[in-house]
Amino acid sequence: MLRWVRQQLGFDPPHQSDTRTIYIANRFPQHGHYVPQKFADNRIISSKYTVWNFVPKNLFEQFRRVANFYFLIIFLVQLMIDTPTSPITSGLPLFFVITVTAIKQGYEDWLRHKADNEVNGAPVYVVRSGGLVKTRSKNIRVGDIVRVAKDETFPADLVLLSSDRVDGSCHVTTASLDGETNLKTHVAVPETAVLQSVANLDKLVAVIECQQPEADLYRFVGRITVSQQTEEIVRPLGPESLLLRGARLKNTKEIFGVAVYTGMETKMALNYKSKSQKRSAVEKSMNSFLIIYLIILLFEAILSTILKYAWQAEEKWDEPWYNGKTEHERNSSKILRFISDFLAFLVLYNFIIPISLYVTVEMQKFLGSFFIGWDLDLYHKETNQRAQVNTSDLNEELGQVEYVFTDKTGTLTENEMQFRECSINGIKYQEVNGKLTPEGFSEDSPDGNRHSLMREEELFLKAVCLCHTVQINADQTDGADGPWHANGIASPLEYYASSPDEKALVEAASRVGVVFTGTSGDSMEVKSLGKPERYKLLHVLEFDPNRRRMSVIVESPSGEKLLFTKGAESSILPRSKSGEIDKTRIHVDEFALKGLRTLCIAYRRFTPEEYQEIGKRLHEARTALQQREERLADVFNFIERDLELLGATGVEDKLQEKVQETIEALRVAGIKVWVLTGDKHETAVSVSLSCGHFHRTMNILELVQHKSDSTCAEQLRQLAKRIKEDHVIQHGLVVDGTSLSLALREHEKLFMEVCKNCSAVLCCRMAPLQKAKVVRLLKTSPEKPITLAIGDGANDVSMIQEAHVGIGIMGKEGRQAVRNSDYAIARFKFLSKLLFVHGHFYYIRIATLVQYFFYKNVCFITPQFLYQFFCLFSQQTLYDSVYLTLYNICFTSLPVLIYSLFEQNVHPHVLQSKPVLYRDISKNAHLGFKPFLYWTILGFFHAFVFFYGSYLLMGEDTSLLGNGQMFGNWTFGTLVFTVMVITVTMKMALETHFWTWINHFVTWGSIVFYFIFSLFYGGIIWPFLHTQDMYFVFVQLLSSGSAWFAIILIVVACLFIDVLKKVLYRHLQPTSTEKAQIMEFIGSLLCQRQKHLDSLHNGLTHLLTGTFVNALWKPCGAHTPIVGSEASSVLHPCPRKD
C-alpha cells in the first residue's frame, strides 16, 4: 500500500545497489536469507495525472504562473474584506481560465491514458509452470521468459535466450525507437541458444546480473551464469543480447527472452523523459511587461489610498452627512484602515493585469502549430513526410533566429553514398564498368581490362566485405547459389546497413567481384570472383566515436587469425607501422579536396600466443560489471596496433536539393551559418565551398592542428589582426576539434571576437559534446543571440537540445535527432519557409497579441482610476460587475485570437522571395521596450479620451433626452464602456492586414454581441440577481441622439491619431516590410486592372466577331449567331447559292 501511495505521488524509491540480480523464471534461492529485489511492473505510464492527483497537481502547476496566483490573492482579498467589486469579478475569469486550461490538459492526458491501456492490455505469451500461458503485457514480471513471434514487438527489454535458428540469432528492426530500418542481428549465448522448446527452457537454471536501468539505447552491461550439472558457466552480455521494448522481430519465426527491464524502467520509457523546458524570448518579454504593469497597479493603488486620506483630512469630507461612519469604523486602527483601503483599491484596479492573456497565448500556440504540419510546401513527396511540431511553445522563436548551427552529413547532403575512388597499396583506383581500374588507365588499355585481382586488391576488398555490420535480405541468403551468373559476378543483393558508408562499400566490392553473401552462425561467407570462402567471426570490436574505428577478428579458411580495421585516417594512420602510409595520406587528402568521405583500412596477423592473450583480455573486460567501457577501450587499443595499412576509400555524399540557395537566403536575412561536422578538414571545406557556405572570393582563415595553448593563442591574435586589416573582405573561419578545445579553455573571448567578425564558420572533426559547447558559447555571449541547431543523427542531439530552437532532419541516420528536436522537417531547404514565412507570421501575430492585451486592459482600468477623482476616492466602481467580468472573456477576446491565428502582414511568396524582410523582425524588434511603451501610452491616451470625452457630454448636463430625464453614474460608466469596446475592437481591425470571413465575423460580431447582450441584460429583470443597477440603463442611453453622436465622435478621435501615425511613418520612415506591402498592393491593383482590360478586350472581340459572322451568314439563311472558337473557323467568304 505504501509503495502504491509513493508511486501515485511520483516518488520512485531509489535502487539499493548499482546492479540487479535476476533469477530466470523467478527460481529464487531456497535458503531463507535471500531477500528478493523490488522491480517495477510492466505498465507503461505516459500520462501525467491520475484520478487522485489531477486536481491538486494541475492546480499547483497553474498557480505557479504569476498572473493566476495574483488573481487568486485578489479573489481571497475580496472574500475577506469589504471591497467595491464583487468577488465574482475576479473569481469568474480566474475560474474560466483555470477550467479551460484544466480541460485541455485533462483531455490530452485522457488520450495518453487511452493509449497506455491499449499497450498495457496487449496479449503476450509467458513460460510458466512448464507451458505457455497467455496473459496481458502489464502482467509481465522481471525474470519471466517471454515468447515473441515474427513481426511482433517486444513487450519489455528482454535478454535473448534462444530463437528458431540453431545459432540462437535473430534479426530485429528498431525503427520505432531510433528510425533505423536496417535489420540488426542479436545473438544468444551458446548455453541457452540450444534451448528451443518450452520444456527445455522451463528446466533452465540461470542468473543474470546487469546494471540498473539507464536511458542509453546502445549500452547494456551484464553477465549470465548458467548452472549445468555441477559447473557454472559465466558469459558476458552486451547490447547484442538485449532486445529493446518497441523493437520488432523480423526474419525470425520466434524467440524466447527473459525480461530484465519492465514498464517505466525499459530503455524506451526512460527516453520519454522530458527535455529541459525552453522559454521563448516573447515569453520572457511578457513576464517583464507583467512586472511593469504590477508596478503601475501598485502605484495607482498607493496613490489613490494617499489621496483618499489627504482628501479626508478636511472634516467635511471625512464624514459627510450622507455617509456617516459606524462606531466600529470610528474606533478602528488607522493602519488597518489604510491597509484595507489599499487592498480595496488593488481589487478595483486589478484588471490592468490581463488574466486571459496566458490562456489566449496557449491556445494561439497550440492551434497555430497545426499550420506547419498542414503546409504542403514543407511536405516531402518522395519520402511521404510532413513537417512535425514536437513543441508549440517556440513558434515565435522561429522568427528571431540569428545563428544557425548545422550538421553536414545527412543535413546539407543526402546521406546517399556512392563509391567513387580508392587507394590500394599506394595506387589510386576508380570503378569503371564494374572493374577496379588504376588511375591513368582506361578500360581499353592493356592493364585496364583485367579479369583477376592482385593479392593486395583482393585482400583490400575482403577487408571491406568482412569489417562491417551489413545484413542481407533473408530471402536472398536462403539460396546461396541463386543470385550468381555464369561469369562469377553476383547479381545485386539487397543489403541493409545502419551506416550508408558501409552499404556503399560492400556494394562496390560486390560489383568488382568480391561479394559478401551473408552470415551463417558465427561464419561470414565471401565469394571472390565466384570462389566461395568462409571466415569464422571470432570477435567484433564495435565502433565508438572516441576510437573512430571498428574492427573484426576472423579466422581465415587457412586457419590464420586476422584483424581487419577501418576508420578515420586520424585513428588508423598513427597505428599503422607498415604499408604505403605516406602515399595513402596524400591520396586521402586528395579525396577530401574533392568532397569525398574517406575511410582507411588496415589489417594485422596474430600468432597463436597473441590471439590467446587477446581472447583472455577480451573475456575479462566483457564480463566485468564495473567500468566495462573503460576496460574494453583499453583492450581495443591494445589489439588495434602495429597495423599494416591496406588503403583508403573515397565515397561521395551528394548535396541535397537547393542547399546553396537556402544558405544564401539565410545570409541575406542576416543569419550567420556555422557548419559543425565530424568530417576531416579538407572534406568539410570542399563541401562548404560547393554548398555556398564559403564563397570562392571569401578569405578563408584557419585555426587547425594546434597542440598547445600558446600556439593557439598566437594564431588567434594573428587572425584577429588580419580581420581588422582586411575589414572590407568577407572572412570564413575553419576550426578543428583539438584547436577548438584549446581556444575554449583559455581564450574564449578572443575566439568569440574572431568568430563574430567572420561571415561563415566551419568546425570540423567535432565530437558531439563539442557541438553543444559551441552552441552554448554563442547562447551565453553578452549579445544573447537566438540560436538554431539542425541535424539528422544521434551525434547532433546534444546541440539540438542546447540551442534555443532544435530542428531534426528526417534522414537516414535514425530518428534520435527528430525525437529530441522541437521541430522536424524532411529536407534542409524547408528551413527557409519555416523561418521566413512561419517564423515571421508567428512572431508578428504573438507580438501584437501580447501588446494588444496590455493595451486593452490599460484602456479598461484607467477610466476606473480617473473616476476616483470624481467620487472622493470612495472606491465606487465605474462599470457594472457583469461588464467587469465579461470584458476579457467575451467582448474583446475573439478578434485578437483570430488575428493571432490568421494574420499575414505580407504574402508568403513575398516573404520567401525577399529574405531581407526577416531583418525587420529580428532582435525582438516588435516586442521591445519602444513598441511596448507606444502601446501603453496609446492605451492611456485612449482611456483619457474615453473618460473625458464622455464627461464633456454628461459632466454639466446629465439630461440627454428631450424630456429632461436625468442620467446617473451607471449611464456614464456604460457610455465609457461602450466607447471602449468599440474602440479596442476597431483598433484590432486597424492592425489586421489579412481579412477573411472569420475576421469579419468575429470583429463586427463582437460589437453586435455586446449591444445585444447589454439590451437583454438591462432590459429584463433577472430574478436570480441580488441587485440590478443596470435595469433599462442601456436602452435609455441608446435612445439619446447625443449619446450616439458622442460614441461616434470619441471613437473617431481615438483612432484618428493612430491612423495618422501609421500614415506618416509609412511615408516618411517605411520599413522593408511596409515597402513590400505597398509593392504588393500596387501589384494587386495592376493585376486587377490587367484582368479588367483582358475581360474588356475579350468582350469586344467576342461582340465584334459574332456581329461580323452573323452579317455574313444572314443572307444564307443562318439565324444562329456564331461566337467563340467556332467563329475563327467560318471567317471566310460566304458561298452564296446563286
Residues of 1069-1079 as b/e, b for ≥16 C-beta within 10 angstroms? eeeebbebbee
Please identify which of the residues 157, 407, 880, 1058 carries the catalytic annotation: 407
Q: Are 456 and 541 in contact (CB under 8 A)?
A: no
DSSP 484: B
| 428 three-class SS | strand
Strands 672-676 and 403-406 come out as parallel
Strand order, beta sheet including 699-703: 388-389, 823-825, 805-809, 787-791, 403-406, 672-676, 760-764, 731-736, 699-703
Which amino acid appears at position 174 of this protein? T
Cell of 325: 461612519
| Run of H or E residues at 664 | helix 659-668
Which amino acid appears at position 811 of this protein? G
For residues 49 and 110, give the distance between their C-alpha atoms in angstroms, rounded to a whole number. Answer: 9
| Run of H or E residues at 413 | strand 413-424
Report residue 332: phi and psi, to 5°: -75, 160
Residue 54 class from Cβ within 10 Å (0-12 exposed, 13-18 middle, 19+ buried)?
middle
Q: Assess whether 736 carries a catalytic annotation.
A: no
Q: Where are the alpha helices (DSSP H) in 312-397?
A: 315-318, 327-331, 334-348, 356-368, 370-374
Which amino acid appears at position 940 of this protein? F
What are the CA-CA distances from residue 1127 to residues 729, 731, 1110, 1118 (Å)?
66, 67, 10, 14
For residues 132 and 126, give the distance between their C-alpha atoms in angstroms, rounded to a whole number. Answer: 6
Counting every residue written for the chain, the total comes to: 1138
Strands (E), 445-595: 471-472, 495-496, 514-520, 523-528, 531-544, 549-555, 561-567, 576-578
Cβ-proximal residues to 4 (8 Å cutoff; 6+ apart), any chain: none
Cβ-proximal residues to 162 (8 Å cutoff; 6+ apart), any chain: 168, 188, 192, 193, 194, 195, 196, 201, 255, 256
Strands 576-578 and 643-655 come out as parallel
| DSSP class per residue in 1073-1096 | HHHHHHHHHHHHHHHHHHHHHHHH
Query: Which residue reads 598513427 in cell numbers?
Result: 574
| Secondary structure, 3-state, 929-989 | HHHHHHHHHHHHHHHHHHHHHHHHHHCCCCCCCCCCCCCCHHHHHHHHHHHHHHHHHHHHH
Residues of 856-877 as b/e, b for ≥16 C-beta within 10 angstroms? bbbbbbbbbbbbbeeeebebeb
Query: Which residue reads 607498415 in cell numbers?
Result: 578
For residues 273 and 267, give the distance between their C-alpha atoms in angstroms, rounded to a whole number. Answer: 10
Report residue 263: phi and psi, to 5°: 55, -130
Strands (E), 246-357: 248-250, 254-261
Q: Are 256 and 145 in contact (CB under 8 A)?
A: yes
Q: Are 529 and 486 in contact (CB under 8 A)?
A: no
Q: How many other C-beta atoms lie within 10 A of the C-beta of residue 909?
A: 10
| Secondary structure, 3-state, 50-102 | CCCCHHHHHHHHHCCCHHHHHHHHHHHHHHHCCCCCCCHHHHHHHHHHHHHHH
Catalytic residues: 407
